Structure formats: structure tokens, C-alpha cells
Amino acid sequence: MHEKHKSELIEAYLELRPELRRFLVAWFRNEATAEDVLQDMYLKLDRTDLSAPIQNMKAFLYKVAENLALDWRKKNLRSKGRDTAWSETTGTIAGEDAVADAPDPDAAIDAKRKLEAVLAALKDLSPQSRNVFVLHKLKGLTHREVAEKLGIRQKGVEKHMTKALKHLVKYLKGMD
């Protein structure tokens, strides 16, 4: 397209832009999407290289707007389809609601901070109390299994757990 024809096309676009915008807002029922399509339309027109002049600029511009709107809608439907398929294969559904498999980022950060505080508090315990706590609370062993593993009585495990828990409560309250 000659530069003269391209500048005429851009001028026609700029003149009809408010009208095209109303057309696209009615099409999508969304002003932001209409603006996005208009911006894409401008870029497409600016890159267009036609060999002959356009006879009916208004009809041409409306057809370009309609084609871009159809393309956008198809792309959006494909994207929603992919997102739905992804969430169905990777997510969990509870009733009609999707449940995130990953924890909330704020909750994860808070949990990490609390775990670090617990681990710091454990350093103040005697090695035996620390071992009992770690084996029972972090490794999931029963009191009896901890007693067998450490070669102590079950009452000793209970004594060390009580000591560790009291220390942790005191330590963590001091952090608030």
C-alpha cells in the first residue's frame, strides 16, 4: 500500500474510532475489551500493506473490527477451555466450588515463620527433650515408639514432651 493510502486508512480509523468503539462495546459488553480490540486494530492497520486503494473505508474498518472481535472471542473461548481442562485435571472440586491445591501464599509464609520460631525455640531445650519432641511431633512417632527408639521409659517421653510444650508456649507467647 502506498504511504498515501495508508495515511488515508489511519485517518479514517481515527475519525471512526468513537463509532467503532461503540460497536465493539455493544459486541463484547465490556469497555476494556473493546479498547483492547481497537488497539489491536490500529496496530494491524498500521502494518497493512494493500496493493490497491480501499473503495469503502467505513465498511472495510467495520469488517476489520468484526473479524478481530470474532478472533478475540475464539481465542478467549479456547483459553477458557484450556483453563477449565487444566483446573479439572489439577484441582479438587468440593461440591460446585473449586478448591485450590496450593495453600494461600500469606498462610504459607505465616506457617513458615511459625515453624522457624518453633525450631529456634527447640534449640533452648536439652538434647533429650528436643529429640523426644522432634520424634513425636515432627516425625509422627507414638510415645511408645519414641521410648523404644531412645531407650527410655514412656513416662520419660511424657515428661520431656510436657517440658518441651511448656517451653514452646512460653517462647511463642513472648514473640507476640
For 39-71, how does the pLDDT look when each residue is reduced to its tens digit (9 = 90+)? 988 888 888 877 777 889 899 989 999 999 998
pLDDT at residue 168, rounded to an integer = 82
**Using one digit for the tens of pLDDT, what is the confidence trace for 127-155?**
999 998 888 888 888 889 999 999 999 89
Q: pTM score, two decimals? A: 0.47
The CB density around residue 135, as the number of other CB atoms within 10 Å, is 21
Residues of the chain with CATH 1.10.10.10: 105-175
pLDDT at 38 over 60: yes
Cα separation, 94 vs 44, in Å, equals 45
Cα separation, 67 vs 6, in Å, equals 19
Correct CATH for 3-94 of 3.40.50, 3.30.450, 1.10.1740, 3.30.360: 1.10.1740
Rg (CA), the chain: 33
Correct CATH for 105-175 of 3.40.50.300, 1.25.40.10, 1.10.645.10, 1.10.10.10: 1.10.10.10
Residues of the chain with CATH 1.10.1740: 3-94
